[in-house]
Amino acid sequence: MTLRVLGVDPGLTRCGIGVVDVERNRRATMVAVGVVGTSPEETIDRRLLVIAEAIDEWLELHKPDVMAVERVFSQLNVSTVMGVAQASGVVIAAAARRGIPVALHTPSEVKAAVTGSGGANKDAVTKLITKILRLDAPPKPADAADALALAVTHAWRAGSGAAAATTGPGSNALTPAQRAWAEAEAKARRGR
């Protein structure tokens, strides 16, 4: 059985979108990747409409089982946070209209899942998502790579549960980064 995840790295200027198929053994394959861009010179309603129409097209074309969206987090620039939140809302609503479940993941969760370290930089995420998906070249710009990383993160997280993944049957099928992420997840659960 394969899980199809549409990952979205929301933003008003650049909204990364990536679709990944992930098998039960965690082997991930890129289906499609892209970036929807809008101009800051456009009105907010027009920019959100462009993103909404693009997401609708991707959802219709790729028919994902689930959507993974980067969770909005606080930054110093309030206008940037607002734009990301608005784009996120449009994306989440598009999935909800179709009955597609939505999962939110923080940037540190994505970094930990893909690289084994929640403090990894964007270059490390791009390098490892390129390797995980067996791509000939890194997805560009970074928003595209982040969207793919979100999709992979969700599939791996939803797959078998972190604690089971570190000790259960088939645990040797995990990469070192997957094992490190699963162990960190299990440790965090024990600490609650």
Catalytic residue among 9, 21, 109, 146: 9
Please tell me whether 9 is known to bind a ligand. Answer: yes
Catalytic residue among 21, 109, 143, 185: 143
List 34's β-bridge partners, or say none.
17
DSSP 60-106: HHH--SEEEEEPP---S-HHHHHHHHHHHHHHHHHHHHTT--EEEE-
The verdict on whether 146 is a catalytic residue reads no
Please tell me whether 70 is known to bind a ligand. Answer: yes
Phi, psi of 9 (to 5 degrees): -100, 95
Please tell me whether 56 is known to bind a ligand. Answer: no
The verdict on whether 136 is a catalytic residue reads no
The verdict on whether 45 is a catalytic residue reads no
Binding-site entries for Mg(2+) = 9, 70, 143
Binding-site entries = 9, 70, 143
Which amino acids are annotated catalytic? 9, 70, 143
